[in-house]
Amino acid sequence: MKYFSFLILVLLSTQSTFAQENEADTTFINNNDSLKSLDWLADSAYGVFRTERFNSMRTFFHSYSTYKNMIDTSMAGDQTEYTKFVVYNTRWNYLRIQFAKMIKKIHKAGIDWKDTKLDTVYFKKGKDQGVNYAYIHWVIKVKGKKKYTLSTVALQLKDKWYIMDELKFEGLVPEPKTAKGKKRPALKIPDNVKIQN
């Protein structure tokens, strides 16, 4: 009986150490200098969307050490290590949910990634409380006809850009109706955004 209880204790302790592993921690993955470019982030993230593999998003998610440095400089810096860890993983899992919802809506719209082509990427940049952010919008063409929009919010932490929140499929880009024989006007993008073709 003592041997059996010892075996149970060992199994429970090994399970708790596996549970403490940080699935989202990207410390060794995103030491990539390419993350300094918002254009690279947008182009590479679109490639990941096409694969529909969420784990590939790790490259675009900040590391746990970056998160700790960011949170330590804020008013919430007095949190325990455990609380910081839980909040970090919650943010990762929330992004996972957004990714799954986006892919589900893409499938519901009948979009096959093989039939898509990236038409335009544009950014709306800003700064709030000393942190740079950018709304990234991908306009994709399906079968060379219909245009759909995907979007997210990226933050610049230290000198690198990371996808943080609001990852979503916004739907069909409305095309204005015109009379027969007239040319349709191009998609209007606000003047204060950067465009990449």
Each residue of 73-88: pLDDT tens digit? Answer: 555 556 778 888 888 8
Which residues are CB-contacts of 112 (< 8 A; sequence separation ≥ 6)? Answer: 142
- Interstrand relation of 131-142 and 160-172 (parallel, antiparallel or unpaired): unpaired
Residue 148 · residue 172 · CB < 8 Å: yes
In the structure, what pLDDT confidence band is assigned to residue 64 with cuts at 50, 70 and 90?
Answer: confident
Which residue in the block uniquely carries the two structure tokens 């082509």?
117
Q: Is the pTM of this model over 0.75?
A: no
Cβ atoms within 10 Å of 83's Cβ, excluding its own:
12
Q: What is the pLDDT of residue 17?
A: 39
The pLDDT mean for the chain works out to 79
Q: What is the spatial distance between Cα 125 and Cα 150, in angstroms, rounded to a whole number? A: 16
